[in-house]
Structures are given as structure tokens and as C-alpha cells.
Structure 1
Amino acid sequence: CDAVGSKSFLAGAEAQRMREAGIEIRAALPTGLFSTLSSRVDLRNHRKIATIDSRIAYSGSYNLVDPRYFRQAAAVGDWVDAMVRVSGAASAALDGVFESDWAIESGAAFVAPARSSGAADARGPAIQVAASGPGLKPEAIRQLLLTAIYGAREEIIITTPYFVPDDSILLALRSAAERGISVTIVVPARNDSMLVRFASAACYDDLLQAGARIAEYAGGLLHTKSITIDRRTSIFGSVNVDMRSLWLNFEISLLVYDGDFSAGLRRLQLDYLERSASIDLESWRARPRARKFLEDLCRLIGPLL
């Protein structure tokens, strides 16, 4: 687990009891006074992966924490997440990512998981597992998102808790909306970072003017990270549409090429949308100038968020 995101857990009694029971725990990308001087503490492991017997794996946005109690001081309500269960080659690939992360932090030799037979995969959707982060192919996840957006022909639906896209993704979404593609972006009405909230809002005007729909979810902190394209292709995992996920974090994404899976994910997205309030361009432009100034100021520091 990430050394920063799980700091209180790692130092707590529960982690100690787990170790005493024989459970191995490693802090990913540990920090400290001396490591701060010699390493990048802003690089974090944001992946969410659970593997069972190298045959079944789960991935998505869910952290191992009770959403009813997590960061309740931020007054954002329950965290709303989603996970998917995979088997076959996709499970083996996720297991491989976990084993690689484990080997780096534990010093153990990396042992690649056995490849699954193709028989199980033939019955299910085509899935690609995309691991991204420092040390891997630069801009991989950003290029993936750009390819998906520019390849859309009918519809793009995005849910993300943190929406601070770089200029290239913002331009791609604007271009999609301007050429008549239905572009819908669902974000939480409130999240746990005021700076991110203002930086996100700085992008709304251009997107709304281009014809995109932006809706704010009112049922809690919508934490699900999902994209559906033309009801046929889905991107699902730990990646937020923000510059930290695109450039700094170690992330994991599932690319699913299947109409049935996309239909199910789209139903979930539409359920979120039904519990959201759409932003009207005219009303949005009437917001106070002081608010606009704060948004633009936070947008300038977007690469740090």
C-alpha cells in the first residue's frame, strides 16, 4: 500500500496485528526525512489491485477503507466507487503488475505469473491491462485517452472525481463536442480538495460552450474513474482525468472492447448522471468574478494537483 495514502494504517495497531498474524505488508514508495532529499516524494502508487490465486483479480477505484468513515472531516459524504472482477489473461496481467510492485518494495526476485490458457478468455470480452507511471513508456496513459477521444464517433461519457485535464485532453474533448459527438462529464459536486475543485471548474466554460454536458453528482464523492466510448469500448481503473494521474502516479487501467461490458458500465454512469445536476452555460457565466479569479489561479497550478 502507498506509504503516503496509507500512512496512518501502516503506523497503526491494525497493521501490527496483521503482521503478527503472518500477513506481509510493504509500504510502496516510502518517505522520510532522508528519502525526501534523495527521491521524488510526489510520485505515488495509486493502483488498486486484488489478486486471488493468480486466477481472479479485482481492479477499479475502490480503496480498502470503509467509505462511511473515510475523510469524513471533508464533509463530502460517502465515497462512491466501483470495481470489476476479471479472470484469464487479464487476471494474470494484473497479477504481474502486483508482483512487479511487490518485488520493487520487498527486494524479492520478480517471478512472472504463469500465462493463463486462452480457453477462458474466448468466453469473455477482449481486455488489455495498461500499467502506467514513471519509468514506463512516457505519456502512455495520456496517449491512450487521446486516442479514445479522437476515435469516438457518437458518444463519450466520463466519470472522474478529479477533472484537471492538460491542454491536449481539454482540446480533444472540445473538438469532439464541436463535431457533434455527445460528450458527458460527471464529477462530484464536492470533493476533498478545494484547489482541485476550482481548477476543475476553470475548464467548464470552454467545454460547455463547445456543447459538452457537465453534471455534478450530489450523492457523495463520486470516486469511480470510467470512460465509455460509443457504447463499445470502456476504460476503467484508477486513472483520474488529471495531470497527477497522467504524469506522476503509478496507475492501472483496463481497456475493455466489448459491447455488453460497455452497456453495463454505461448503465452505471447513467445512474450517476440521474443523481447529478447539469450545469447551464448561461448560469455558469453569471458566477462572481472573484470565483472566476480563484478558478483561473488554481488552473495555473494544475500540474501540481
Structure 2
Amino acid sequence: MTTLYISLFTWLFFFGYWIILISITYQILTKRHSTPAAIAWFLVIYIFPIFGIVIWLFFGKLYLGERRFQLANKIWSKTNVWLTDFKSCETFFEKKNSDVATSLFQLCKHRQGISGIKCDQLKLLTNAKEIIKTLIHDIYLAKNNIEMVFYIWKPGGLADDVANALISSAKRGIHCRLMLDSAGSVDFFRSKWAQIMRNSGIQVVEALKINIFRIFIRRIDLRQHRKVILIDNYITYTGSMNLVDPSLFKQSAGVGQWIDLMARIEGPIAGTVGIIYSCDWEIETGKKILPKKPKKNKNFLKLKKKHNSIQVIASGPGFPKNMIHQALLTAIYSARKELIITTPYLVPSDDVHHAICTAAQRGIKVSIIIPRYNDSILVKWASRAFFSELLDAGVKIYLFEKGLLHSKSILVDQQLSLIGTANLDMRSLWLNFEITLVIDNSQFGKDLASIQYEYISHSRLLDKKLWSIRSHWKIILENFFYFFNPLL
């Protein structure tokens, strides 16, 4: 009898296993994946059977959960009235762009339904203490509302100073909302700060909660990766910096202090960023918080003749599909003289990789700046698999040595700039909630160039000859991790 039960259990196990395997195969075949991604998934689930199925359940499907998915599909139709009112303020918008930026701004207008917005109050911030000091000053001066979203809020040091400023503002009647990613900000939610903030009147939301039982209703590695601060629907911050004290953050990893880049903007761009924030808030909470209808504020209209023209690109479920990927390709192919890229994680799609190589081969001066030491071993080895082809094409690869360079920026011909939260990896390009600013302005481009050149001055140029004679076991490791590139 025992033998019969064992045989029955074994038969049921294998029957269930093959049903699941066939189901996953069907899902891969019926959804349009890139060929490398599809092949990688087939190899993973068939070569590593049980492990492959588990990996698929965790990371294989891009879904947000039924409730969130339905909300995401309805959000843009509900915001059309707000956008129509916003677009009626014609003085906010730039009608003409530079030659290098025209294609990208046309793409953004077609995909997102809005033209580039004028702005002359835009400042790049690179020093963590300066960023925090400026932010705290703005928080204390807030008159109506403060909204924040971060992937990581790590208590301690400078982060606690921001927390205290936010609490003080909430107690004096400022409406404060804080949305933090569950995985990235796990230390925050385990600390005293979450409850202290809620007790002071701040609305604190844990976005995309980590729960093993949610793997069947939502992809577990989908993350809220944006870093955005909105104050009084007028001041906007965004960029690569999480709400952490760089002198304390991940010091045990041995990669040095994290180096970031943030932009502070004043003006009507806060309206479009506010719409993105309201969509994220509604997807997570079900509650609508549209920003106030735009008015022709006198401060918005005091624009210099040579102002910035800005587009905001948002990605993630519910937002225009593949938008950041398309923007990157358009920007790279628009280059005529120089292309500079900074990214902490270099694991691009094949299309982006080939576009970069093609740019160098058609005579563009192409430089990529990445950290020499990385906090992700998988990404570290996978990124190296791209080096040989990039170097052969004439791309200069600089290894930054004064910490973990976490800035994400692209500069085209010192005129068209892209900065924000998106890394040059598959997760940022296809999966996470990200945000990128696109700026068309030569002076801003020169300011960004000076920062990038400073990064280069603290970097070591990768020597093509030395790279070509690296040990064989390193090549094997690089190619092994490159194999999983579509899954990273």
C-alpha cells in the first residue's frame, strides 16, 4: 500500500510538473519576448527544472496585480481633463528644439501627448550635503504640500535631518505624503521613523510590499525606483540619489561613498511630475490626488529667452511601454559629435549596445563612465562581457575610482541631456517604475559636461590591449553571466 501511495505521489508530481512547464512554455511563446530573453528562459526552465520554475514565478512575468493593473489602465483617461487644461497654457511650452533634440522631443510628444516645457530655474547638484541642505531649506519654506517617492530611505545621519524637517512641516499644517519602496526601504519600515512620521500627520505608504504569497498576483522584483520630491506644485527634485547619508550607506560593501547627481527645478514642470506621482499614488492606494489645476502663475511666465526645454519620461506598468528604451536609442542615434554616458550598471539591451557601438564607428567621440567597484557581483561580471565589442568599436571606457558612481546621465553634443533614475540595464529599461528628465539647452549641457569630465579625471581609462589579454577564466565568467543578461 505504501509503495502504491509513493507511486501515485510520484505520478502526480511529474504530471503537475509537466503541466506547469507546458504552461510556462505557452506563456513564453504567446508573449513577444526578445529572442535572447526567450532562449534564456527556455534554457533556465528546462536545464534547471525546479529552480527554473521558481525563478519564473518570481521574475518571469511583468504584472502588477489585478487591482493595480485595472487602476493603471484607467488612470490616464481620468487625467486627460487635467492635461487638457495644462496644455491650454501655451506659454508653458516650447515650440522649437535644437537639431540634436528635435527627434527625441517629437517622440515624447507623440507617445506622451505633451510638448517640451519651458524652464530657466534648473540647477544640478552633486554634493550630498549640499543636496540635503538645499532640500531641508525648501521643506521648511513649504506653504502647502510636500510629496516624496524614493526607492531607498535609509535612517541615519543626513536622512534623519530630512525626516525631522518633514515632521516639523507636517506639524505646522503642510500636507505631506511619502511613498517608499518596500524592498529598498526595508530598514526604514523596521525603524521608529515610519510610526513617528505617521503620528505627526505624514501619509506614509509602503509601495509594492514584499510578500512571498504575492508571487502569484504580482511580479516580486517589480520595484518603485523613482526618486522624486515635489514642493508646493512648483519645486521639483529628481535624479539618482536615494534618501541616504552617503558617508554611512553600504560602507561594508567596500565600494566607497556613493556619488550621485540630482536636479532641482522650479516651474511648470512640477505639473507633469505631479501627474506621475499621482498615478503612482493611485496605483498603490486606490486614491486619486491630482495636483491643482495649472494656472498662469506669474513666476512661471518670467522665462529668459534662452531657457531650458524639458520633457519628463516615466516608465513602469500603466505608463507608455518601452518609452525609456526608445528615448535612449533616439538620443544615441541623434549624436553628431560627442556622446558621454555615466551609469553604475552597464547591462544594456542588444539594441542600445549596438547603437553605442555604431555611434563610435561613425566617428562620434563616445565615452562611458562606470564605477570600478560595484555593489552587484552579477552586474559586475555581466557588464564586462560588453567591453570587448565596445572597445573594438572605439568606445572609451572609464572606470571611476573615487567611490561608487551612482549617477545616471547621457549627454549628446553638449546640448541634449538625459538624467534621472534609470540605469543602463534591463531592469530599468523594461521593468521598474523610473523617471528621466530630457533637457534641451546648451548651457545646461555644458554644466553636465563639466561634471562628467570631473568624473573622468577621477577614473582610469580601460586599456584595450591589457583587456584583450585578461585570463581565460575571467572570459568564461563574463560570458556565463552575459547569458543571463536578459534576466538581470
Q: Indicate whether the TM-score tops 0.5.
A: yes
Kindly provide the CA deviation profile for residues 118-160 of structure 1, in whole angstroms up to 9, marking residues without a partner as x: 5145663000011111232221111100000011100000000
Counterpart of 2:185? 6
- Counterpart Cα distance in 2 of 1:163 and 1:121: 37
Q: How far apart in 2 are the matches of 1:188 and 1:115? A: 41
Q: Structure 1 residues 225 and 8, CA, compared in 2 at 3 Å: closer, same or farther? A: same
Structure scoring higher RCO (CA < 8 A, sep ≥ 6) equals 1
Residue 157 of structure 2 corresponds to which residue in structure 1?
Answer: none
Seen in structure 2, the aligned counterparts of structure 1 residues 249 and 153 have a Cα distance that, compared at 3 Å, is same
Q: What code does the residue aligned with 1:279 have?
A: L
Letter in 2 for 1:80: I
The 3 A distance-change label for structure 1 pair 121 and 26 is farther
1:192-203 → structure 2 map (5 Å cutoff): 192-203=375-386
Partners of 2:412 and 2:426 in 1: CA distance: 21
2:215 counterpart letter in structure 1: T
Query: 1:115 Cα shift?
Result: 2.6
The amino acid of 2:349's aligned partner reads D
Report the Cα distance in structure 2 between the residues aligned to 1:287 and 1:66, rounded to whole angstroms: 37
Do 2:278 and 2:288's aligned partners in 1 also have CA atoms closer than 8 Å?
A: no
Give the aligned partner of residue 95 of structure 2.
none
Q: Does residue 1:105 correspond to 2:284, yes or no? A: yes
Tell me how far 1:44 sits from its aligned partner: 0.7
SS of 1:8's partner is: helix
Q: How far has the Cα of 1:116 moved from its partner?
A: 5.2
Q: Distance in 2 between matches of 1:191 and 1:44?
A: 20
Q: Give the AA of the match of 2:346.
A: F
1:247 to 422, 430, 448: 430
Counterpart in 1 of 2:408? 225
Select the structure of larger CA radius of gyration: 2
Residue 205 of structure 2 aligns to a residue whose secondary structure is coil
Q: Report if the CA contact (8 A) 1:47-1:252 is conserved.
A: yes
Q: Give the equivalent residue in structure 2 for 1:290.
A: 473
Q: Distance in 1 between matches of 2:198 and 2:274?
A: 22
**CA apart distance, 1:266:** 0.8
Q: Is residue 60–residue 238 contact of structure 1 (8 Å, CA) maintained in 2?
A: yes
Structure 1: distance between partners of 2:386 and 2:294: 43
Counterparts in 2 of 1:179 and 1:63: CA distance versus 1, 3 Å: same
Task: Determine the structure 2 residue equivalent to 1:42.
Answer: 221
Distance of 2:425 and 2:204 partners within structure 1: 29
Residue 69 of structure 1: how far off its partner (Å): 1.4
SS in 2 for 1:299: helix
**What residue in structure 2 maps to residue 53 of structure 1?**
232
Query: Could you say what secondary structure the match of 2:195 adopts?
Result: helix
The aligned residue for residue 334 of structure 2 is 151
Please name the residue that 2:256 is paired with. 77
CA gap of 1:114–1:108, structure 2 versus 1, over 3 A, is same
Write the deviation string for residues 73-109 of structure 1: whole angstroms up to 9, x where unpaired. 2111100001011122212211221122122222212
Whether contact under 8 Å (1:95, 1:113) holds in the other structure is no
CA contact (8 A) 1:88 1:121 kept: no
The answer to whether the aligner puts 1:164 opposite 2:347 as a matched pair is yes
1:121-160 to 2 correspondences below 5 Å: 124-160=307-343
Which blocks of at least 5 consecutive residues in structure 1 are unaligned? Answer: none
The one-character-per-residue Cα deviations of 1:211-246 (angstroms, maximum 9, x if unpaired) are: 010000001000000000001100000011111100
**How many residues are matched?**
305
| Aligned-partner SS, 1:37 | coil
- CA distance in structure 1 between the partners assigned to 2:287 and 2:459 by the alignment: 47
Letter aligned with residue 42 of structure 1: D
Aligned pair 1:177/2:360, yes or no? yes
Q: Residues of 2 paired with 1:204 and 1:302: CA distance?
A: 14
| More displaced 10-residue stretch of structure 1: 178-187 or 294-303 | 294-303
Q: Aligned-pair distance for 1:38?
A: 1.5
- TM-score normalised to structure 2 length: 0.61
Tell me the residue number matched to 2:486.
303
Separation in 1, partners of 2:295, 2:257: 37
Letter in 2 for 1:71: K
The CA deviation string for residues 46-95 of structure 1, in whole angstroms up to 9 with x for no partner, is: 10000101110100001001111111221111000010111222122112
Give the root-mean-square deviation of aligned CA atoms: 1.3
CA-CA distance at 1:37 after TM superposition: 2.6
CA distance, structure 2, for counterparts of residue 303 and residue 53 of structure 1:
41
Q: CA separation of 1:113/1:228 partners in 2, compared to 1, >3 Å: closer, same or farther?
A: farther
In the superposition, relative to structure 1, how do residues 304 and 206 fare at CA in structure 2: closer, same or farther (>3 Å)? same
